[in-house]
Amino acid sequence: MRRTIIFLLMMFLCHSLFADDAADDGWDDDWENGFNDQPVIPEIVYPDWFKKSFLEIPDDIQEAVDAGKKGIIVYFGQKHCAYCQALIDKDFGQKDIETYTRQNFDVIPINIWGSNEVTTPDGQVMTEREYALRENANFTPSLIFYNAQGQKALMLRGFYPPYKFRAAMEYVERGYYKEESFRDYMFRANPPPKFEISDMNDEDFFMPPPYALDRSRFQAQEPLLVFFEQQDCHACDVLHSEPLEFEETKKLLTHFEIVQLDMNSETPVITPDGQRISAKQWAAQLNLFYAPTLIAFDERGNEIIRIDSVAHVYRLKNVLEFIVRKTYVTSPGYMDWRFDRIFGGKKLPPLDGNINTSDSMAESPQGSSN
């Protein structure tokens, strides 16, 4: 009994801590409403405390351990990426996050389009771009946390608000990754509400129940897009504002079958591969830890790509275009497609930042932020 009481008290304190972080995490409305995920100009400048590395990653890990740190963070980024700038400003820009990071990790920046030679933690030698491709760093910034033994403890793809970023660092630094998934860790620390606080955002294009999504026996006519959301979700509210109101995005969405699921609910679902489970069980099986998460499946029920981090107007549009054009059938991945389109003789948009949504500009290096 005493042990149970202590455990519950710890969970309460942990939940309170995360709730306070979420309420004061630098994720303010003014910043959110003004966020533009077109490329930033001029180029991003790394914090001066990022490590000046020769890209011999095993040596970097050893040097971090010798300095009393828990390991390193390999940061995959791009020179004009708005989400990378958000990471530097809104996450690393928080003094407590900077201090905590510098105490426990060295940060090694990698240019996902770079040709510099890298020795990876497992001793392979390749270019920065090949390393990013191997690690499926589809969305920048992507971060890989390596422990003292050079093992991957956690990977984050995309930008996350400060409270979740703090949690990710604590998850690695305190060794929780050895015992549980990041999803389970976050669920313990910040469980979903037990009672309805507010309804989820509805859209005309969402399919009504029952959710019979099986594509394993008969091929569907269109790809499937599943919105995993939850109630009382501010990030979900943001997704349903400007990103889903963008005219080009609306047109692309007409090419999908689209379902919205509460990732914490017992709503029955027949999954694309034919399983009969609840939405909550499916989310756990998919190891989802961020709401909203969007996952696309092809006509036969195979997962194409997922967005499980902050996605604004152009990142969302570009991913939908990648699917609708069926580029994934011939291209090894989203990042390869981006590389081919970005470096096809196109230049950065002008300094005035005017939005040009024509096809020729939509995937120029303004898209390099996506």
Domain ranges in the chain are 2-189, 192-329
Rounded mean pLDDT of 114-128?
A: 96
- Measured from the Cβ of residue 96, the count of other Cβ atoms closer than 10 Å reads 10
Query: The tokens of 221 are what?
Result: 């006519």
Give buried/exposed letters for 272-284 (b at 16+ CB in 10 A, else e): beeeeeebbebbb
Rounded mean pLDDT of 101-122?
A: 96
Q: Kindly tell me if the per-residue pLDDT of 119 is higher than 50.
A: yes
- CATH topology for 192-329 is Glutaredoxin (3.40.30)
Comparison of pLDDT for 329 and 365, the residue scoring more:
329
Report whether 316 contacts 241 (CB < 8 A): no
pLDDT at 2: 45
32-75 pLDDT, tens digit per residue, is 666 889 888 888 999 999 999 999 999 999 999 999 999 999 99
Average pLDDT, the chain: 85
**Architecture (CATH level 2) of domain 2-189:** 3-Layer(aba) Sandwich (3.40)
Rounded mean pLDDT of 24-29?
A: 52
CA 155 – CA 165 distance, rounded (Å)? 11
Tell me if 2-189 shares its fold with 192-329: yes
302-327 pLDDT, tens digit per residue, is 999 999 999 999 999 999 999 999 99
Q: Kindly tell me if the per-residue pLDDT of 199 is higher than 90.
A: no
Q: Kindly tell me if the per-residue pLDDT of 350 is higher than 70.
A: no
**pTM score:** 0.84
Torsion angle, alpha carbons of 53, 334, 156, 28, to 10: 110
